[in-house]
A = this chain, B = another copy of it.
Amino acid sequence: MKIYSLLLLLLFHSTLKAEDGYRLWLRYDRVTNSRLLESYARQTRSIALTGNTPTMALAEKELLTALSGLTGRKPEITRQQGATTTLLIETASAKLSKAELSTLGDEGFIIKTTGTGAGQVLVITANTDRGVLYGVFHFLRLLQTQESIASLNIRSVPRMKLRMLNHWDNLDRTVERGYAGFSIWNWHTLPGYIDQRYTDYARANASLGINGTVLTNVNANATVLTPPYLQKVKALADTYRPYGIKVYLTARFSAPVESGQLPTADPLDPRVQLWWKNKISEIYALVPDFGGFLVKANSEGQPGPQDYHRNHAEGANMLADAIAPFKGIVIWRAFVYSAEVSDDRHKQAYNEFVPLDGKFRPNVLVQVKNGAIDFMPREPFHPLFGAMPQTPLLMEFQVTQEYLGQGTHLVYLAPLFKECLDSDTYSKGKGSTVAKVVDGSLQGHALNGMAGVANIGTDINWTGHPFGQANWYALGRLAWDHQLSAAAIAEEWVRMSYTNDPGFVQEITRMMLASRETMVQYMNPIGLHHIMATGHHYGPAPWIADLSRPEWNPVYYHRADSAGIGFDRTSSGSNALGQYHPGAAATWADPDTCPEEYLLWFHHLPWQHRMKSGRSLWNELCHQYNQGVEGVARMQETWEKAGKKTDEQRYRQVKMLLNIQHQEAKWWRDACLLYFQTFSRQPIPAVYGQPEHSLDYYKTLRFPYAPGN
């Protein structure tokens, strides 16, 4: 009886444990399906894990934690395979042929059922311990998502070499465009204090296959290159190394000047070259596997080679030459647009970079945002993809939701990522997708990859919004395998983060998949873009017209007037379309064939323009905005029903957040329609929700302490 009551007590206690979200998708709660539970317990009864590297020790620890949680039994793990071994974990296992192993590279893995009957053994192997760790996480994912492991033959090799997070984190712990609190890196207490977060961050990334992290903001601070800070960087690199994660830093181009040692940062000046050589030697002496530099140069006020009348290639190559002896790389951002250039901002990066194709050193990648403007709710793919065949282009997605509802909107981003990756550049004929450009397969670049601007902060659940975790997860999973579907990734994440309950999984996956389109509708329907408030980018402000640089003003982008609305980027306008391969541009060029989701991106059209729905453009705008608001209401209904199947804490969190999202969707709708109405001079049809306030009211709203600015 005592045993029973203690058991009940423990069970009760475990339900009391708050789901604060810290555990992410690595919760490892008990498997509820008893048949699977038995099968998992049987297969993991006796584990042999050979090799004693720090990474193998992490694999062992993960198995111990995970299987104890999932099966309720602490597994027995030995160092050597025996007669009873059911699960064998080792590098270059002799259970597999050399041929099988040879195609795995240094990060791929195999999970394979070998032998039969009593001699049946499940093998997780790879050529390196990192590969084995990835395999272990994959195996645990199968258990977490209640997949059968009865007969496995899984071979998984990452489709990209660099799978990275970019942190726009400052040394004072503020995060540019961060909505989950502040930077997880407490630079002040480093290197002496290694926060538990640092380890758990690496573990979560390793579980996805993320293998690189840029610790500092692209709007860079040269202080991170000073000796005391390099000691701190070393401490982080030492922590991350066993997880297969390399650290990178942003290099402020003017660092030689700011260090006080040189009067110039001209990349062709031998003193500058020597300064960087010495600095890089200093870094590698502390961090032998340092990844390299990410550089934002001559963009939005950052210093760069153009300050000395050198081009981007000359700037990047100077750093690349200095870092090449250490096998480091330079990632040079293509996000440039100039106050002095009057041409459509959409075109400037292409104009600047295409002539430089072929001029970069082999250890340079150019990092290109998914679209030509700036992480809008929806953008056509960036015209640079496919246009620089001799240069490896690294994809830059934004995981943090700068323009997508920031910290309070539930927007699942995998559909956005996939939309871009699956876009066809036609650069080498039909099927030349963006994914093939960035994974290097189209033009044969061994150096290739994908980066996400992280949404991670000090909030206990890492991402502020509980569903923000799904976007970190999706970025990592797609960097490993961009052929995964958005739905499959969502389902995995829901199962691991909440429950395997089929109804819950189905409903919440559906809600997530629809969320991005809903957000587009209540923010930027029909190809509208860049109509958010200035500075913090929080909320709508399409009326802004007084900023010093024309391309910072929303009116630059929507161009609403009494005749109509939209940006003419055809040959009669800015001809940004001319930068795309004709195969891609053809349908976009004609308003009759252009998908309506891009209509006002490429065309200025009259308010009476007839849409496919039969509505006028104005009425369609009203319709779309209302669809967006209603979409959020449907999300609220879904959550209200599904919420009963989840824990109290996250249920209440998401409920409050969806309520904010609904309020803000109405705010976007009402403010934007009232403003555009001053041009269209037409009523908002009575079937739709009518604005709660006047346009003047929306114009007076101020948010002086909005985060992330």
Contacts and interface: CB of A to CB of B under 8 A. Distances in A.
A353 interface: no
Interface string A683-709: 000000000000000000001111100
A11 B73 CA distance: 10
Interface stretch (A181-189, A242-250, A253-261): A181-189
Contact of A10 (B11, B189, B656): B11
B12 A196 contact: no
Given A72-B6, A188-B703, A196 B649 contact: yes
Contact of A65 (B16, B188, B193, B408): B16
Given A407-B189, A660-B189, A196 B20 contact: yes
A196 B7 CA distance: 29
Given A192-B660, A660-B192, A705-B187, A10 B12 contact: no
Interface string A648-668: 010001001101100100000
Given A6-B72, A9-B72, A188-B706, A17 B17 contact: yes
Contacts of A230: none
A572 interface: no
Interface string A17-58: 110101000000000000000000000000000000000000
A536 to B, nearest CB: 9
Contacts of A71: 9
A73 B74 CA distance: 26
Given A10-B14, A458-B181, A659-B192, A5 B705 contact: no
Contacts of A6: 7, 72
Interface residues of A, number: 56
A324 interface: no
Given A10-B10, A72-B10, A458-B182, A656 B188 contact: no
Nearest to A2: B72
A3 B5 CA distance: 11
A512 to B, nearest CB: 20
A656 B193 CA distance: 6
Contacts of A659: 192
B9 A192 contact: no
Contacts of A459: 458
Given A13-B69, A182-B181, A182-B458, A656 B192 contact: yes
A68 interface: yes
A300 interface: no
Contacts of A706: 188
A88 B181 CA distance: 43
A660 B194 CA distance: 11
Interface in A325-342: none
A659 to B, nearest CB: 6
Contacts of A73: 5, 8-9
A575 interface: no
Given A173-B705, A460-B460, 14 more contacts: A10-B14, A12-B74, A22-B460, A171-B704, A171-B705, A172-B705, A173-B181, A181-B181, A189-B407, A192-B408, A192-B663, A193-B653, A193-B657, A223-B705
15 contacts: A12-B74, A13-B14, A14-B14, A16-B68, A18-B196, A22-B460, A173-B705, A173-B707, A181-B181, A186-B707, A188-B706, A192-B408, A192-B663, A193-B656, A223-B705
